[in-house]
A and B are shown apart, each in its own frame.
Chain A
């Protein structure tokens, strides 16, 4: 009798847990769901009250409408080019710097490490005015250069990769040196391949943050041809009379690439990013 009661109570508790967690998940996911649902509404459905919650049919009309109203594909391509450039730039600068800080020994290394560290204390917003003036002086406004070059190095990336390099045993380096393997060869053929997980984390993180940038592209682009996705999206909203369905269609189109990337790299990204904050 008693174990059955116990079992029933456990079952009740599990059911309660499911109810609570489902409620929370629905609440968190609702805005994304609703954007997706709205993108399939007709224009009049998307402005009706009380609001609809399920599309009655499945057409891509609002997607076509969004593409007609703004060069969404062009925005996505722009963002891809800029994000890829920043990603490769950071991978190169960060892996080289991290190698210098973890495998090379020279006077002043620690001091230089602090110099790199100190850049973390300078918020981007503080330098943005001067950077804008610099980019303007270089005639880099409305170019991929202006959008990407300022972000091609980060203390965070250097940190992350340095942490990866520090896990490579020193003996490996000594053995390679005895075999006549120079620094550059060790760097490219051993250190880099061994740190692939960290490089992957940095690549995904950098790509995502660049793709989602807002303030800088807002400042340095002023033609539709050079707009990136986040700035381009507001074009879909500029016109007050416009219904929500095509705006949401634009959002979904812009969101798909990052959603796929995040789904694929989610676990590794989380592991890489939390390792700094969570583990000692």
Chain B
């Protein structure tokens, strides 16, 4: 009897092992890629951030936390962080307000609304480099379209990319436009998920469109807004393409956002260790935001 129970137990554990093996087998390709291109480089970046590196990226002298200390005391990185935060504000607030306006319009019951929705979504097809080049043409001081439009209102031309007061804002305009399509679609989805009968009953109660927007639509889509707020903040922290195409961090460093600074440090100054330390600080900030997103939106992001 006791022997039989042991036998059953053994075969069960063997069965468990088999199941585990099969489960792992299906995970193997994904885990291999993650291992080589996410987990190993993460560990390696942590290691590099503690070293002074040579131009091939090998750790030479162990510095400990010295580079982190340098990051926070030298001030340059702090300026870079401040620039990034300002850029995020330029990007996120107009981006969400504009796409909310477009999404509300796209929800109007009009003939041919499908065409309008498609036009609103159209910036989605334009990638970073293309969008930057199109806007570079608009910004052009010699024959720019923006100069022309401003002159219609008797406004003097602005040196969009060369003026230290405007450069960061100009770059953010490009990014706002480029992400408008996707944000609008996402918000439209949220607006359409609000049950129609809620509107009907409040209309009967005599609520105007303004009241309905503030009291019903906005609260109902607040999870989507929250999602957009956090994801666009994260992507603003990761911006690189527009900066590299349009200003290369200039003029006078006013568009030197964190990722651009990491890129310069690593691939121009070959200071991989210092760049890795900068990257780790960025990682900490983005991780905090991502965790916030998971906790705030837990039920909406995690299925099940």
B295 within 8 Å of A (CB atoms): no
Please report the C-alpha to C-alpha distance between residue A125 and residue B241 in the assembled complex, in whole angstroms: 12
Q: How many residues from A make CB contacts under 8 Å with B?
A: 96
- Please report which residues of chain A, range 25-56, place their CB below 8 angstroms from some CB of chain B when the two chains form the complex: 25, 28-29, 31-32, 34-35, 38, 47-51
B283 within 8 Å of A (CB atoms): yes
A47 touches B143 (CB 8 A): yes
Which of A3-11, A57-65, A172-180, A252-260 lies at the interface? A252-260
A1 within 8 Å of B (CB atoms): no
Chain A residues within an 8 Å CB radius of B175:
none
B19 touches A278 (CB 8 A): no
A119 touches B145 (CB 8 A): no
B26 touches A237 (CB 8 A): no
Q: Which of A94, A163, A274 has the most CB of B within 10 A?
A: A274
Residue from A32, A92, A108, A259 within 8 A of B20 (CB atoms)? A108
Please report the C-alpha to C-alpha distance between residue A163 and residue B252 in the assembled complex, in whole angstroms: 48
B301 touches A35 (CB 8 A): no
B71 within 8 Å of A (CB atoms): no
B296 within 8 Å of A (CB atoms): no
A190 within 8 Å of B (CB atoms): no
B19 touches A255 (CB 8 A): no
Chain B residues within an 8 Å CB radius of A109:
23
Chain B residues within an 8 Å CB radius of A258:
125, 127
B110 touches A278 (CB 8 A): no
Please report the C-alpha to C-alpha distance between residue A234 and residue B106 in the assembled complex, in whole angstroms: 34
B224 touches A277 (CB 8 A): yes
Residues 233-252 of A, flagged 1 when their CB comes within 8 A of B and 0 if not, give 11011000000100110010
- Please report which residues of chain B, range 53-111, place their CB below 8 angstroms from some CB of chain A when the two chains form the complex: 56-57, 101-102, 105-106, 108, 110
Chain A residues within an 8 Å CB radius of B290:
120-121
Please report the C-alpha to C-alpha distance between residue A102 and residue B153 in the assembled complex, in whole angstroms: 60
A12 within 8 Å of B (CB atoms): no
Q: How many residues from B make CB contacts under 8 Å with A?
A: 100
A94 touches B30 (CB 8 A): yes
Residue from B143, B234, B276 within 8 A of A129 (CB atoms)? B276
B8 within 8 Å of A (CB atoms): no
Residue from B33, B38, B123, B130 within 8 A of A251 (CB atoms)? B130
A255 touches B126 (CB 8 A): yes
Q: Which of A211, A215, A231 has the most CB of B within 10 A?
A: A215
Residue from A99, A130, A248, A278 within 8 A of B189 (CB atoms)? A278
Q: How far is the CB of B44 from chain A (nearest CB, A)?
A: 4
Please report the C-alpha to C-alpha distance between residue A266 and residue B304 in the assembled complex, in whole angstroms: 26
Residue from A20, A130, A233, A259 within 8 A of B133 (CB atoms)? A233
- Please report which residues of chain B, range 8-59, place their CB below 8 angstroms from some CB of chain A when the two chains form the complex: 16, 19-20, 22-24, 26-31, 33-34, 36-42, 44-45, 48, 56-57
Residue from A21, A51, A96 within 8 A of B116 (CB atoms)? A21
Residues 57-76 of A, flagged 1 when their CB comes within 8 A of B and 0 if not, give 00000000000000000000
| Known contacts A97-B30, A149-B33, A278-B190: A248-B19 contact under CB 8 Å | no
- Please report which residues of chain A, range 73-132, place their CB below 8 angstroms from some CB of chain B when the two chains form the complex: 89, 92-94, 96-97, 99-100, 104-109, 112, 115-116, 119-132
Known: A32-B122, A153-B34, A231-B129. 14 other contacts (CB 8 A): A17-B108, A29-B122, A31-B135, A38-B137, A51-B144, A97-B31, A129-B48, A133-B272, A134-B37, A187-B26, A247-B137, A248-B134, A263-B118, A277-B301
